[in-house]
């Protein structure tokens, strides 16, 4: 029986691709660098902001000084524009509500910097939507390291076999595997079914409604 659902944020609960792409491209163009197509950001994001910055900058510009400068400008721009177009995927709010009604604890585990993760979750879903929201912070290695999962399990007093992680990328599935918990691939997100299938997602959901059905009907072992 599932007692805790841990959700990835970007590409799983929320469609934030346009705001992330617009913010990065604004900073790139401000610095005199060419922008990237929005669709390219589906594979740029997922491993935290430092890795995102590394991926979008030209290789010869990836100096420590340039990366730090870009990070400062990104944080300023994203703080002001992270909710311009970002919204929950259709059916996500209903999924969360149903899990709550059934007594399942809810958490978010994201490689997005924790202040942004907490702010966006609060603004979009409300302060009481999740029992815990954990973003990237220096003291805990980012996904796919299992440390963030372990911290949530300890804080919420749930065993690994009672926990499922829902995410849209190979990073999320690997995180679940590394932590010894169940996984559901969110095929509606940034990366798509093929990547999730190849990484070994335990179950695959095309929509949040499918995800809900899997959570409540699968014979979890």
Residues labelled catalytic: 8
Report the DSSP pairing between strands 105-113 and 4-7.
parallel
Residue 167's DSSP bridge partners are 185
**Cβ(72)–Cβ(96) below 8 Å:** no
Element (DSSP H or E) covering residue 7: strand 4-7
* Exposure string over 4-14, b if 16+ CB within 10 A, otherwise e: bbbbbbbbbbb
Residue 204's DSSP bridge partners are 185
Q: Which residue matches tokens 């003291």?
A: 139
Token code pair at residue 119: 């702010």
Contacts of 154 (CB under 8 A, 6+ apart): none
């Amino acid at each position: 029986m599932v007692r805790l659902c841990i959700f990835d944020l970007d590409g799983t609960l929320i469609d934030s691709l346009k705001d992330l792409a617009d913010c990065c491209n604004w900073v790139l163009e401000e610095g005199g660098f060419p922008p990237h197509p929005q669709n390219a950001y589906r594979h740029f994001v997922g491993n935290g902001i430092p890795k995102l910055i590394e991926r979008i900058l030209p290789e010869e510009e990836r100096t420590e000084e340039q990366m730090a400068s870009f990070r400062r400008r990104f944080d300023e721009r994203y703080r002001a524009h992270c909710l311009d177009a970002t919204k929950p995927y259709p059916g996500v709010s209903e999924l969360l509500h149903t899990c709550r009604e059934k007594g399942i604890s809810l958490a978010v585990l994201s490689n997005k910097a924790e202040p942004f993760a907490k702010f966006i979750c609060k603004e979009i879903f409300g302060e009481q939507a999740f029992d815990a929201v954990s973003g990237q912070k220096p003291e805990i290695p980012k996904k796919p390291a299992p440390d963030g999962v372990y911290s949530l399990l300890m804080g919420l007093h749930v065993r690994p076999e009672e926990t499922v992680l829902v995410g849209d990328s190979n990073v999320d599935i690997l995180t679940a595997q590394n932590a010894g918990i169940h996984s559901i691939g969110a095929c509606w997100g940034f990366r798509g079914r093929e990547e999730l299938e190849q990484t070994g997602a335990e179950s695959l959901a095309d929509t949040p409604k499918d995800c809900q059905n899997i959570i409540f009907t699968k014979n979890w072992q």
